[in-house]
Amino acid sequence: MQEKVDKKFKLGLISDTTKIGVIDDDRKVLPICFLCNLVPQEGMRSGFFLKGVFICTQCEQEIISSNVEEPEKYNIAIAKLREILFKKGPGKLLPEPNQ
């Protein structure tokens, strides 16, 4: 089933930020967390959408609990949130800045 999702992504039928998990017979569609790329165990009940991007409850808790005293974790959380908040349009994320 994942091959079908990958094929649709390559053909441009679905964007990277709206990836879906297809289970069994293509009738069950589950969200994939933008931050951890996993399907939550409870599906849609285990997270929320922010600007069209799904974030699971576990990643939400990690973002909420991250602090400046853990710079690596904090910087990753901020970078991911910026990527979501400042995307150009539906399913289109800004390119990585040149360093």
Q: Spell out the domain ranges in the chain.
A: 2-85
Burial 17-38 (b: 16+ CB within 10 A, else e): bbbbbbeeeeeeebbbbbbeee
For 52-81, the pLDDT digits (tens) are 889 999 999 988 888 888 888 889 888 988
Above pLDDT 90, what percent of the chain? Answer: 18
Please tell me the pTM assigned to this model. 0.58
Q: What is the pLDDT of residues 14-28, one digit of tens each?
A: 545 444 455 555 566
Helix-strand-coil split of the chain, %, nearest 5: 40, 20, 40
